Structures are given as structure tokens and as C-alpha cells.
Structure 1
Amino acid sequence: MEIIKVARKAPGGRVSLFDLFHRLKDKAWFAPRSVYFGMLFLYSTGLIDFDGIYVTLKSDD
């Protein structure tokens, strides 16, 4: 859910992986592995997409 929150705040729903990790690294639960698994889950459910080094939210349409 935090990944989606960060992407929603970014212009155009697009955030780089570097910015994503930078914003999440101060969270108490943060571990790179949990972010990887979270992104894999969101990708497999069709909520996000990858465009190079960017994570983009897919539209609800």
C-alpha cells in the first residue's frame, strides 16, 4: 500500500525506483526484500507497471 501511496503523490503516477526506495527507507518495516515482493505482487495483480527504472500506476479505466 505504501508503494501505491508514493506513486500517487508523484506527478503522473510515475516514480523512479531510486525515489521510491529513498522515500520508504525510513519506515520501520523497510527491508529491500519486502519492497521487491510488494512490487511483484502489485505487478502481478495489474496495479503497477514498470517502464525502465520507473514504476507507474495503471489507470483504473
Structure 2
Amino acid sequence: LKRALELANIVADSRYKLYDDFLHLDGRRLGEYLDAVRRATIAGLEWGGSDPFKVILS
């Protein structure tokens, strides 16, 4: 989860212009990426308990 959130910040950073790779005509690539981040968050909660920050800070 920590890596997924770090990647989200990197993708959003305009210096790298990585967000261009997610701009697709139907917007599917961005949706797929966000779904993967969502799944990582849920998995982190399942394995790390009810505290979402425990997974991020570890």
C-alpha cells in the first residue's frame, strides 16, 4: 500500500509528466490504475487491521 500511494504521488507530479501515459481515449487506463490502488488499500486493511496508517508507516 505504501508503494502504491508513493506511485500515485509520482504519477500526479507534473515534473515527470507520467499522467500523460494514463490519458487514454476512454479513460480506462487511469480507472484501472485507481482500481489497483483501491485493491492495495483494501488488502492493506485486511492484513494490517483497522488502522490504515499502520500499513503506510510500516
Q: TM-score, normalised by structure 2?
A: 0.40
Higher strand share: 1
Q: Which has the larger radius of gyration?
A: 2
TM norm structure 1:
0.38
More helix by share: 2
